[in-house]
Amino acid sequence: MSILSSYKDMFGSSFHCKCGVQHAVPLKHVVIKQNAEEGVPSILDSEKLGKRGLMVCDDNTWKFAGKRISEVLSNNGYDIKVCLLNQKPMVIPDESAITQILLEFEPSMDFLIAVGSGTINDLTRFISHRTGKPYIVFATAPSMDGYASTVSPLLINGFKRTYITVHPLAIIADIDMLCSAPDDMILAGFGDILGKVTSLADWQLGVILAEERLCPVAKNMVQSALEEVVSKASQIAQRKSEGIQALMEALILSGVAMMMVGNSRPASGSEHHISHYIEMKYFMEGRQPLLHGTKVGLAVLYTVALYNELASLDPKNIDIQQLVKTKIPYEEWCQKIKEVFGPIAQEVIGLNDRQNWDSVVYERRLHNIKEKWETHLKPLLSSVPRLDTVKEWLQRAGANFTPQALGIEQNLMEEALLYAKEIRPHYTILRLADDLGFLEEKVKKIINLALV
């Protein structure tokens, strides 16, 4: 039985969860099959949205799927206008792409269709939210887990910020098309799923140390999606449909888990923050962006290494008084952030709670860490797989995610490990290492571990 089918009763429904929250999964249709484009009109018919829509695609996805879907829809009485995004070499989710879609959108339109993967989906979802018109997505590659997401990460003024948006009504994908997606996109999807190794662990760190709420249903959903994909790594490498189907389902379920809990915790942690950091730096330097999941697949090697390192720590060596005495003062930290983040420094400073530098608050946090080390933290830290195991998974999938292979300089990688924690307020392994006063020392130690 496919992993998605075990959760299908949840789609389009709401339920009271054992975590104490009423969860809703408003995503109604998930269809992954052969010739899926033929089924688009009947899904739209069932939703009774009206007949006029805006299709958002780029040159590639237009040729790959958009043209055919547009024909199928007009044969079924739909009036579809096409918004062709043509930024070169690739579409960026920024002000200019948003403006282009808004210029093509007409108030009389009833819905939007995104034809593509990450960026096109993020942009369409944002416009859908702002115009109040529903949207569906026709997914062209199993490359990232944002299909079922309700947020859009956009690059505005060069800063990657996540905007609350809206869920799609349907995710539709053609399995043959997914299997023939470019290699780097499939491997990026694998990397994004591998990131769940530490996003799930980071979420639990937040529960133990920052009073966050854990939803066991969402956690198990992502955990089983991860296990399924890892078990099918070789089939993914060989482009076998059962492997690609499992990967696509896992990517969709990761999004559903975020949709359920209403935040990104189940599927995005320190590995994602590192990826966002590299992305921002690339943008600032005008470099051609790397795929999201590729960076996540690289970053997870370091976050796993950090978990492995911290798992062997003896809590007796946590010298609370010494740590409080030597913590970098807030003003000094602000200065450092200005040097590192340049034009976006104020945004980063604003994201971090000044209270974290208060010595009483910091001391309390350290006591909490020390008290919970043996009972809660050590079991969690030790539950994260060893770095060699994760490397072997990547190898089986045929992915070579080293900084050299991706052209990322060692100093950028080091910087990302040191400062990625600043761009999101969530408690993660990077923040734990920092609280314990040895993030820098550990980064020096793990920086070369991903290479071999």
Residues lying near Zn ion in the complex (CB under 5 A): 17, 19, 192, 215, 217
- 179 or 217: CB nearest Zn ion: 217
Three-state DSSP state, 328: coil
Shortest reach from residue 160's CB to Zn ion, in Å: 12
- 192 or 434: CB nearest Zn ion: 192
- 53 or 191: CB nearest Zn ion: 191
Shortest reach from residue 139's CB to Zn ion, in Å: 15
- 19 or 72: CB nearest Zn ion: 19
Whose CA is closest to 83, among 58, 116, 51?
58
Shortest reach from residue 15's CB to Zn ion, in Å: 9
- 131 or 264: CB nearest Zn ion: 264
Q: What are phi and psi of 413, to 5 degrees?
A: -60, -45
List beta partners, residue 136: 113, 170
Neighbours of 217 (CB within 10 A): 18
Pairing of strands 159-164, 151-156: antiparallel
- 177 or 217: CB nearest Zn ion: 217
Q: Give the list of residues 6+ apart from residue 261 with CB closer than 8 angstroms, or none.
A: 21, 23, 213, 215, 218
Shortest reach from residue 195's CB to Zn ion, in Å: 6
The angle that helices 183-194 and 196-210 make with each other, rounded to 10 degrees, is 30
Shortest reach from residue 202's CB to Zn ion, in Å: 13
Shortest reach from residue 294's CB to Zn ion, in Å: 11
Report the distance separating Cα 186 and Cα 144, nearest Å. Answer: 9
Three-state DSSP state, 197: helix
Three-state DSSP state, 409: coil
